[in-house]
Amino acid sequence: MAGDAGRQGWPALIPPLPSYHDPFLALSAEQLADLGYLVGLRQRIERLVHADGDGPAIAQLRDEQALLAENLAEEGVDVNYLLGERERVMAARRAEATSRSTDVLGSVITLTGYLIPLNKELSRFYLVENSPLLVIGHDHSAPPPNQVVELTLAQPIEFDAEQRMIVTGALDKAESQSTVNMPDGHPMELISVYRLNGATVRAHDD
């Protein structure tokens, strides 16, 4: 049953899910990069062998693969275990990022965040919790879909990317996807699994 989620904000959009063990969190950024490179190397070897068979170039790639796996093993990274866990962890992360909270669907909810315009008329937006300006100079990571809310306003508004806004509306389930330009010009693909119907917007008094 939908309840009054107005005071709960962004955390209310994330449903309670079973906890899961994510062994990749124990890896350093460098180890994650090496593991990703190793997976790509394995796939490249498989493609080349399938297309041309074994040869000196393949042997060189296999040596590189073995050396990288050995270096990771010396750091305590169990490559085979992690690769075996990859699909399970990816599925759990997808569920965590895209699942909707049925407790708040249909509720009138108030969210504070930043608007990202989706049309030149400035009537359709995505609402996100943190300022898009924070991604500049960083990794341009997109927020999870259940932390992006689509809304359409009856009248266009004056838009300021730096202005934090208070948005109230009836939360509904909806799926949308759009490539938007960040304030530094970097394109980012955003996905939303929520929509606010009848949304009203006012500036936050910072």
DSSP 175: E
Task: State the alpha helices, DSSP H only, in 53-189.
Answer: 56-74, 79-98
The two most distant CA atoms of the chain are separated, in Å, by 67
Share of the chain above pLDDT 70, in %: 90
Q: Which two tokens stand for residue 181?
A: 């330009």
Q: What is the pLDDT of residues 140-186, one digit of tens each?
A: 678 999 999 999 998 888 878 888 999 999 999 999 999 987 766 77
CA–CA dist 31, 180 (Å, integer): 31
CA–CA dist 72, 156 (Å, integer): 54
pLDDT of residue 160: 83
pLDDT of residue 8: 67
Instruction: Please check whether residue 112 is in contact with residue 132, taking contact to mean a CB–CB distance below 8 angstroms.
Output: no
CA–CA dist 206, 192 (Å, integer): 26
Lowest mean pLDDT of 57-61, 81-85, 147-151, 180-184, name the range. 180-184
Kindly report the pTM of this predicted structure.
0.76
Q: If you average pLDDT over residues 121-134, what whole number do you get? A: 84
Q: If you average pLDDT over residues 7-34, what whole number do you get? A: 91
pLDDT for 79 beyond 80: yes
CA–CA dist 38, 83 (Å, integer): 10
pLDDT of residue 137: 44
What's the one-letter identity of residue 51? A
